[in-house]
Chain A
Amino acid sequence: ETGVTQSPTHLIKTRGQQVTLRCSSQSGHNTVSWYQQALGQGPQFIFQYYREEENGRGNFPPRFSGLQFPNYSSELNVNALELDDSALYLCASSSQGGVNTEAFFGQGTRLTVV
């Protein structure tokens, strides 16, 4: 049990809609990273938030956006959903910096776009 919780666990959306996914980070962690894992693929880094600011972004379009709140929980928002956005979205929390930084992953939100 990592202490990282994501909600919802599953949801189905229609193409063109907008979706918000939520992540509660582990106690004591100030950094949240989001990953997209398509079926049969490895997770791909979307972006990271550190102390409420975006701290690095992968190769994802601007319709993928995020927020981090003062309690370090985070949201991932995706606008204008496309069929290819169907995937497992993983959140990972960590403490910034150092060789012993470890990322703790939540169980993910499975998004299906129809």
Chain B
Amino acid sequence: GDSVTQMEGPVTLSEEAFLTINCTYTATGYPSLFWYVQYPGEGLQLLLKATKADDKGSNKGFEATYRKETTSFHLEKGSVQVSDSAVYFCALSALRGADKLIFGTGTRLQVFP
């Protein structure tokens, strides 16, 4: 069945460092891909999405490009801030929208001043 694999955390960075969190997927068809963020004590928030190959999702300085040839959707940010500390989840949906999502195990990001 469909699945998502994320790099294990925690990822520990200093403020203003470059961030990459790897995500690869297995799916039949053409899934939509998502990154969600979970801050301590809160629910999930959509960070960005891409619905077809070569699409780039971006939000709040974060970017991810839907790469069908490598079945990847890596999350990047050029300069992280302490406030970016959270758990990041990569997810896919077999449908075009955020429906019946399949999540990775999450990657905890810790940013220190």
State whether these chains interact.
Answer: yes
Most B CB within 10 A of own CB, among A44, A96, A103, A108:
A103
B42, A107: Cβ atoms under 8 Å?
Answer: yes
User: A62 to nearest B CB, angstroms?
Assistant: 19
Looking at chain B's contact residues, the main secondary structure is loop
Chain A residues positioned under 8 Å from B36 (CB to CB): 105
Count of residues in B whose CB is under 8 Å from the partner chain: 24
**Is the Cβ of A45 less than 8 Å from the Cβ of B97?**
no
CA–CA, A67 and B103, complex, Å: 24
Asked if A99 contacts B51 (CB within 8 A), the reply is: yes
Q: Contacting A103 at CB < 8 Å: which of B46, B89, B96?
A: B46
A56 touches B100 (CB 8 A): yes
Known: A2-B43, A99-B51, A106-B43. A42 touches B104 (CB 8 A): yes
CB contacts (< 8 Å) of A43 on chain B: these are 44, 89, 101, 103
Please list the residues of chain B having a beta carbon within 8 angstroms of any beta carbon in chain A.
4, 32, 36, 41-46, 51, 89, 91, 95-106
